[in-house]
Amino acid sequence: MSTPPLATIAIISIGQMGLGIARLLRAHSYRIITNITDRSPATLERAKSASIELFPTDASLVREADYILSIVPPRDAVTTAQRIISVFQEEGAEARKGKKEPLYYLELNAIAPRTVRTIGQLFHKQADEVRFVDGGIIGGPPSVSEEAEGGGAGSWTCPGIPLSGPYPLTSAPISGSHLASTLHSRYLNDAIGTASALKCSFAALSKGFAALSLQAYSTAASVGVLPHLQEYLDEYGGLGVRTRAERGVTGCPGKAYRWVEEMRQIGICFGEEVCVLLLSLSFPICSRPFWEN
């Protein structure tokens, strides 16, 4: 006798990360659905390969889902949220007909705190029907550990998913605590924007190193000293630096379209959050902020 699903989770959309998370959740007895409207044949094949149920509209996702996970290119984060909000605006009480519990919307994209707060405000008018959660994904897509067999619980390597906002996932009424654990999530605090700031901070280091590696390798190659650069990295760069640099150079082309907006969002984050930090600093010997001295 098969185990009934713990909850129904809609994933938008089924890219590499979305597919990995879908497979992880399916392996832990969750029902996974997605919207197939305007999706490419390749996306449809990925969804079918993971036994994801295909729905024709956003409205059908809203009616069925207990959770929506937004995992899209950063440039599409706001538009994706607006699509879900429009369902509530157009259908009103019918949007969640038959559902007693609110829908949880997890914003898991690489965007700045300002952007995620803007999205949170969009959901504010639907606060009775939707619980908005700020989040991010740190690391690669979930995958079955090579040492394990069968892909069951406990055999997965997973990214970290920091979460923040007034609605902790562990308190969600439908499998919330189990889902939070399965997603390898960590609740930071009740402020919208905290999780996104952490994601931006981490991504600045990882993507920034890849960008610097690409610049350094292309410059060295253009003047004919790339082999020498590689030798010096081996000798003086520290353990694994050359490997990490070259992995970034060869791995970035297929992801560059996502990284462009992600780096813009990191710039927004640093431009605002760091300025707030600097304005709050004061010299140890003074009781007043430095700009007042």
Residue 281 pLDDT > 70 = no
Please tell me the predicted confidence (pLDDT) of residue 194: 96
Q: What is the three-class DSSP state of 104?
A: strand
**The whole model's pTM is what?**
0.86
Please tell me the predicted confidence (pLDDT) of residue 46: 87
- d(CA 33, CA 5) in angstroms, rounded, equals 12
Residue indicated by tokens 């009103």: 92
Contact 194, 168 (CB under 8 A): no
Q: Is the dihedral of CA 264, 268, 274, 279 positive or negative?
A: positive
Return the domain boundaries, the chain: 8-190, 198-281
Please tell me the predicted confidence (pLDDT) of residue 258: 77
Strands 185-187 and 161-164: parallel
Please tell me the predicted confidence (pLDDT) of residue 287: 45
pLDDT tens profile 65-122: 999 999 999 999 999 999 999 999 999 889 998 899 999 999 999 999 999 999 999 9
Phi, psi for 212 (deg, rounded to 5)? -65, -40
Residue 288 pLDDT > 60 = no
Nearest CA among 109, 95, 100 for reference residue 11: 109
Residue 52 pLDDT > 80 = yes
SS3 content of the chain, % helix, strand, coil (to 5): 55, 15, 30
Please tell me the predicted confidence (pLDDT) of residue 2: 56
- d(CA 83, CA 81) in angstroms, rounded, equals 5
Residue 285 pLDDT > 90 = no
Contact 66, 10 (CB under 8 A): no
Q: Return the exposure string of 18-52: e unless at least 16 CB atoms fall within 10 Å of the residue's CB, then b.
A: bbbbbbbbbbbbbbbbbbbeeeeeebeebbeebeb
Quickly name the fold that domain 8-190 has.
Rossmann fold (3.40.50)
Beta strand spans in the chain (E): 8-12, 31-35, 53-55, 67-70, 103-107, 130-135, 143-144, 156-157, 161-164, 185-187
pLDDT tens profile 246-262: 998 998 887 777 788 89
> How long a stretch of residues is the chain?
293
Q: What is the three-class DSSP state of 198?
A: helix
Q: Which residues contact 235 (CB under 8 A, 6 or more apart)?
A: none
pLDDT tens profile 159-191: 999 999 999 999 999 999 999 999 999 999 999
- d(CA 191, CA 203) in angstroms, rounded, equals 20
Q: What is the arithmetic mean of pLDDT over 196-216?
A: 93
